[in-house]
Every structure is written in C-alpha cells, then in structure tokens.
Structure 1
Amino acid sequence: MKLDSKSLVLNLLGTDANIQINKKVLLTLKLEEAFFLSYLIDQYKYFEKEGKLRQDGSFYASNMDIALYTTFNNSQIARVKKAGLEKELFRISLEDSRTKSYYYLNFDKILEMIGTEKSNMELAYKSRFDSEKIEIEMNNVEDIDNLKKFTFNELRFYCKENKIKYSGNDKKGDLIKKIIEFKNPVLLEKAHFSTVNDISFTSEQKNRSLRKNAELSNCVSDISLTVSEKSITNQEQINQEKNTCHVHEKFKNKKDKEIENIFHELGINYTDTNEASSLLILKQFDGNKSLLKKYLLSIHNQLKKLTNIKNLAALFSKKLKEIDFILLKQIKNEDENVTKKIEDENKKRETQEKIINISNEQNKIINNFLSLDKNIQKEIIDVAEKKYFKEFPELEKNVVFKKAKENTYFLYLKMLYPKLLDTLKIKYPEILKIGDVI
C-alpha cells in the first residue's frame, strides 16, 4: 500500500515538531539571530510546560545544548548572543562560578518587534538597505546627480514604495526619469536623457560603453549614467571628467579643504566622485565634519583589513557611494553619548560652583555678623531662633542641636542662616553692607 507522503510530511512538520520563526522577527533580525531567538522561545515553552521554569521566569541553556540543537558553531553562538543582548531581546545571568547560563526573555521587546505596524515590505526594505526608506529630494538639476548614486535595486524599491509604475524592462536611466517625473516634472524640461543600456547593478558585470546623446541646458554637466565601477575608477585615475560645456575653471566650486585634507591623510585622491559622496554623507551628519572624518576613517580601516585588494582607492570610492546607514547611526549615537556626558559634567560643575559661591557668600556674611557687638549679635540670634523653632519646633529641645550651638557656633549659624539673613534684612539691613557684602 502506497504511503500518503503528503499527510505524513505535514503531520511530521507540525508546530510541535518545529521551531517557528515569525515573519516580522525574521525580517527585523538577521536569519541567525531570528532562529536563535525562536530557539530560546521554544525552550521557554518547554520549561514552562514541564514546570521547570525558575520563579523569575528564567531557564538554563548551555552552549553545548545550543550547539547541538541549532547546529551553530561557537563563533555563531557568541555572535547571536551578543546581538540579542545589544538589542535587549534577553538577558543572561552567569551563575555557579560563571559555569551556568540562565536566560531571561524580554517579552515586551519581542512583542514590540512582532506587533509593529510596519508592513513586511517595509521591514524587508530596512533589512536589505539598512534604512527604513530612501529620502530623495528633487528641487534642482544638481539633485539629479545625487539620484544617480543610488543602486538599481534601491531605485526599484523606491518606485515600488511610492507606487511609481515601472516594468521589468526598465533600465536605471528609465527609473531615474520616472522618479524625476514623479517628484518634480519641471526638471524634465531642463534636462535630456541619453538612452543608456544599463543593467549593471551587480559588481560582477563587465565594463559597458556609454553613449551621450544630449546635454543639460545652461551649461550643466551631462547626466548620463555611469554603468560600472571600472569606468568610475578610470575617471578617477584621470582625476576629472571632461565637462561637455567646457565650464571655465574659475567658475567651478572650490573643494572643501578640511574634507580634502582628510582624504590626503588616507592617501586617497579627493576626486569629484569622492567629493559628491562625502557631501551626501556630511548632510546625514548635519554638516558635522568631525563625524564625517570618523565615518571615512572607519570605512578605510574596514577595507584595509581585507586581503587581495588590487585598488583600495577605487573600492573606497565605491563604498562611499553605498552609504552605510548602520555606521552612520552608530557614529551619531556615540557623538550624542559624548555630548550628553559633557553636558552632564558641565551641569555638575556648574552646580558645584554654585554651591561653593553660596557657601562663600554665607561665610562672608556670618564673619561680618560675628564682628558686631556681642549684644547686637545676641539680639539678632534670639529673633532668628524664634523664627527657626517656629518652623522646626522639634529641634528646640534637641540635644544635638544645642551642643552644636555650644561647640561649633559657626556651623550653628549656618544652620540658622536663612532665618538669620531674614532678621538682618528686617532689623539691621545696614549690617549686610559691611565688608561690601550685599
């Protein structure tokens, strides 16, 4: 008798026999992280069902168990644990001389991820491009040059997200034209597009020729699209693309010297392409060049660690065009933390200085008070004490308070200071002017 393979497979792969990964979790986290979190949730269910959860809701899981049931190696386990801790998806408690690991799931954080109002498409886009969406400005012809820096896939996603109709046969130039028409159709009157056979959106594709059929009006550089990283690199080796309008040198914008110096420190030419990419990144940092420098140094250091690089400068230029939004956010957060720390330290210092100034002022007034005739002092103290004990009657018969008056009279006067000052202002205002203290 032939087995019903369909029924058997569906039953054997039922929920009880599998680790389930929620779609939103998968699209929010990386595959390894999503699988590891799903494994921990599955373990929680098991311990809860068996009545083996600890009172605080934690459960034990060793690295060996994780390796056996997830097939992760040690480096993968370390990586997903670190990522989960950083994202606050769970906590880990090391107990019994750090030999046992107990996990505490953060269900609020997990629910926040699962219950997000963002669509699966939005989450997939964020996961793919490290940003929630592409922001495109289209106010003038110069913005068209910035649009060229987006990849073919990014432009397609942008069209899809903004419901701009396109076909599978559309090339990169076609997508750009449609986006301009969607954002600011007036610009189409100022620019003419060349017919570009551009399907070069992967790094493996070879060099292709580029035809230029038209020029922008008012002597604006041609907006024809480059079609390979190799052609871009060749342009950079020449250090300047020929301007079709032959704009005179004195009318060109001068390069930012600060940014140019950063490139010189890295041993890389500050080409027009690198300048355009840097200015886009600088805009993300709200014009903060110190943050831009951190970004450039970080990218450069990452590339230096790679082996078999034939042209570091060309690869560096390529990486600048593909803005790393995770790195941007990381640098911004570091800067915000440093700024907050400085602000907190300044506030703390200001508070300390204020306390010191108040204390010094009190000391001056008390010293001036003690220089007065003893009878006048007693008269003022009697009035101040009456006011003080009226507000704090429990201290009138307090032994410690009385001893303070006998043994540390100066400190006693500082305790009475608010009432002492009030009395001086009312009965003897001229005393406050002694020694130029007001």
Structure 2
Amino acid sequence: MKLDSKNLVLNLLGTDANIQINKKVLLTLKLEEAFFLSYLIDQYKYFEREGKLRQDGSFYTSNMDIALYTTFNNSQIARVKKAGLEKQLFRISLEDSRTKSYYYLNFDKILEMIGTEKSNMELAYKSRFDSEKIEIEMNNMEDIDNLKKFTFNELRFYCKENKIKYSGNDKKGDLINKIIEFKNPDLLEKAHFSTVNDISFTSEQKNRSLTKNAEFSSCVSDITLTVSEKSITNQEQINQEKNTCHVHENFKKKKDKEIENIFHELGINYTDTNEANSLLILKQFAGDKSLLKKYLISIHNQLKKLTHIKNLAALFSKKLKEIDFVLLKQIKNENENTTKKIEEENKKNESQEKVINMSNEQNQVINNFLNLDKKVQENFVHLAEEKYFEENPTIKNSDLFRTMKITSYRVYLRTIYQKLLDILKIELPELIEVGE
C-alpha cells in the first residue's frame, strides 16, 4: 500500500512541529536574528502552555539549549543576542550568580515590526540595500545620467517593484532603456547611449539593441556602430539638439534663479518635479525664499546624517514631495521669534533715542532759559511751581524740594520742566523754537 506522502509531509510539518518565521520579521531582521527571535517566541509559548512562565512573563533558556535547537555556534549566539538587545526586542536578566539567563520578550516592539504598514517589497528593498526604496526622477538628461549610477541589481529590483517587464537576458542598458520608457518615453528621442563612456557594456552587449524592436527612433544610432561612427553620430545629434533647443527655449518657462542656486549649493539637480514641490513649500512660507532655503538646507542636513544612502538626491526629492509640516511650523516660529526680537530691539533703540533727543532738547531749552534776566526767570519759575504743586501738593512744603532749588537749580528746573515748558510756549515761543 502506497503511503500518502503529501499529507504525511504537510502534517509532520504543521505549526506544532516547526518554528515559524513571520515574513515581515524575516525581511526586517534578516535570517539569523529572525530565526532566533522566532525560537524565543516558540519557547515562550511552550513555557506558557506548561504553566512554567514566571509571574513577570520571563522564561529561562541556556546558551546550550539555544545551540542545540538552533544549531548556532557561540559566536552566532552572541551576535543575535547583542542585536536583539540593541533593537529592544527582548531583555535578558542574569540570575543565580549570572549562571542563568531569563528572557523578557518586548511584545510591543515585536508587534510594531509585524504590524508595519510597509509592504514586503519595501522591507525587501530596505533589507537588500540598507536604505529606503529607490526613487527615480526622469525629467531631463541629467536624470538619465543619475540613473546610470545605480547598480544592475538595484535597477532590476526597481523594475520588479514597479512591474516593469524584463527578462533574465536583459543587461544594464536594457533595464535603463525600459525604465526611461516607463517613466518618460519622450526622453528616448534625446537619450544618448551610443558613446563608449555612457554605459559599460560587456562584449556580449555590443550586439544587443537597447529597445524591444532592436532600434531606437530614427534619430538614435544603433549600438553596433564603431567607436568613430558613434562619436560622429553622437556629435551630430548634439548639434541638432542645440539648434532645436534655441527654438523652444523662449517658450519654456524660466526657472527661479534664486531657488535654483539653492539646489546647486546643495548639489541637487533642480528638476521640474523639485521645482514644483519647492514652489508648494514656498507658498507655505508666503513667498519668503529665505525661509524656503532654511527648509531645504534642514532637510538636506537630516538626510546627510543617515548612513548607507546610495542616492541622496533621489531621497531628497522624495522628501520634498512629503511636506514636513512640523519643520515648516518650527521655521515659521523661529522666524516670528527672530522678527519679534528685532522689533523689540528696534523699539528699545527708538525709545532710547527718543529719551536722548528729549534730554538734549530739554538741556537746550534750560540753557536758553538761564540766559534770561533773573527777574524774568523768577516769574516764570513761580508760575510753573504753582501749576506743579497743584498736581503734587505733598511736595510743596518738602524740605528736600526747597533745598534742591537752592543747591541744584538746574536739576530743580528739570523737575518742574514740563510746567515751565507749557508757560514758555505761550509767553516766549521763540525761546522754544531756538531750543528745538
């Protein structure tokens, strides 16, 4: 009797007989770390099922057990334990004179990893290239030059993610051509892959065309041309483009030079997409380009701090699409605070200047007043005193006030100055005019 091998295998490899590794965990942590975490989760389930978990949810397992059931050697065990601790997936308590290791799983952290909104493809990109998924702009010839900087594997992954059909026989040049055709087919008419330095082809590739139909449009030469023919044809195309460029240049909207200069300072191409996104951000800043510059520099500095970025320009362009409203608000607040401080400083300076001017004016008026006849001075002072004492009756009989009049007459005049000035404006306006 023949055994039902299919059902036997499926039953023997059921969940109870296996350590299961979640796909997102595998793509996030890679194989060794993912397998070790899955082993610990499996141990937790066992201890929980047997009622052997401690009250705090921890369980005991030794390095010997780990080695037996995972087949890891000592260096692998040390490596995965260190990685798990750094990523806060679990913590370890060494007890009984540091001879026993008790594990505490961080289920919140594990759930965060499993429940990520990122697709398996995005996680695969991050795992494969140690960076976010590849973003490719395709607006002009500069973007084609940037495209050539990607590795063959990166281009294949990009095609896979964006469902661009390619075959196992496609070379780097074929993939580049297909991506251009997918992103911006109009650029195919301007693309120059015919010079030797454009793309590094193998001898095998020299006989391959860059399009499905083994040819570009009539304006692009076949790749089987000799080096000299390629150079001549390429130069002719450049000359033709120069001529046609001048015809259409006047119809193209000119880019903002100030913003373009900011991009050049950062070493980023000022593509049409970057321009459009920058103008949207500029609108948030009410057209203040100095604030836009702060925003762009801040984003650029943030990205530079990240490690293993292979295409900073592409990631920068992606960040511009996703407007950082927190950063916007921060820059606006900083600007408002700076503006407020400047206004306060200006007001303070104006106030100080006003006080100085008033003091100078007062000195001038008092100097002119002191040049008057003594009797005239006494009459005006007497009238000013009466008005002053009406408003300040408690000072009238003050010894200090009377002493001030005798010992420091100028200071005294300053004290009653406003009342004295009111009288002089009526009785001797020419004195005030001189003072002013």
**TM-score after normalising by structure 2:** 0.46
**TM-score after normalising by structure 1:** 0.46
Larger radius of gyration: 2
